[in-house]
Structure 1
Amino acid sequence: MAANSAPARSAGTEDGVFWGWLDGYLNGIIGIAILGSQITFTVLVSEIADPAAVLQPATPAFGRETVRAFIGVSWLLFIASLGISSFTKVVLSDPNERAWLIARMGVRRFRSLYSVLTLVLDALSVVPFLFLALATTAYLPVIGWIGTAFVSLFSLVVAVSWFLLDWRASIV
């Protein structure tokens, strides 16, 4: 997700391409978080069907309260993503604030902070879907487990991509 978009020259330069990319990245994360938190909250406060009643005669992998907990964790992660990305967008929207932050931290520390921030935001955007896939498992076991496997694999790809493309670039 954040892959190889770290500033090429130095984080202290006003690289319009980088700041434009970062703004678009944060907009995307905010959009995912708003949509995800809205949908999960709506489901969370509504009456959730008992998986045991839906899957008769089979026994569901998770009970109703576990499904509610999975959806609640998903909502919480979406909200954390929304808060962090919105705060970051506000702080970095002012060129003077960006320059002050980079001057105070130094280019190397800013790049490290950028790398960790993108990893956290990537994780906070993918992991909620893992919990939603687990919740789906209670109602549609095959679909839920396939979704869980897919999201787990995607999470691994995101983490490896971040390490290979972003973190290594930030420590050089």
Structure 2
Amino acid sequence: MEKIYGAKGEQNGLYRIGRFKWEVIYGFGKDNENDETGYNYRLQYSYRPRLENIKKDIIETVNEIVRDRILQGMRFRGHLVWLNAENQRNYADWYGLAVISDSNLPVTVKLGQDEEPVEVTFNTLEEITEFYEAVANHIRETVTTGWQMKKNINWEEYEHEKD
């Protein structure tokens, strides 16, 4: 599904927008809370989609939202933490080694973006624990939010075409 900007709120539903064109609209969000308008997710079909197709597409969109928020939605000490799968494993490994022995410290991680990277060094178990717990909490909270988003979808809004 694609973000379409200019929305003032949710417009969830299945809409017939042409002779052989339907559109599914899901959700509402804003890039900045101060913005007057935001966006909906939309997907066009050249056939009238069945509810199963709509469910699959919306669930995949929610999963993409969660993946994106995990990947680039965390900040630590004001710096972006890039949480791709490899970095998540590395952070877990480094934390685990630091717990085993403080001889595995210090640990230096690169935060921020490639254009302006920032190195942060964790010299104590407390420092790396603070970082690792922040990472784990971010992932857990983001996944929980995704589950809640899926739970709150009213599938009845997609059973019949809207005007």
TM-score (norm 2): 0.38
Q: Which structure is higher in RCO with an 8 Å CA cutoff and minimum separation 6?
A: 1
Q: Which has the larger radius of gyration?
A: 2
Give me the TM-score of the superposition, normalised by structure 1.
0.36
Task: Determine which structure has the larger strand proportion and give its number.
Answer: 2
- Larger % of helix: which? 1
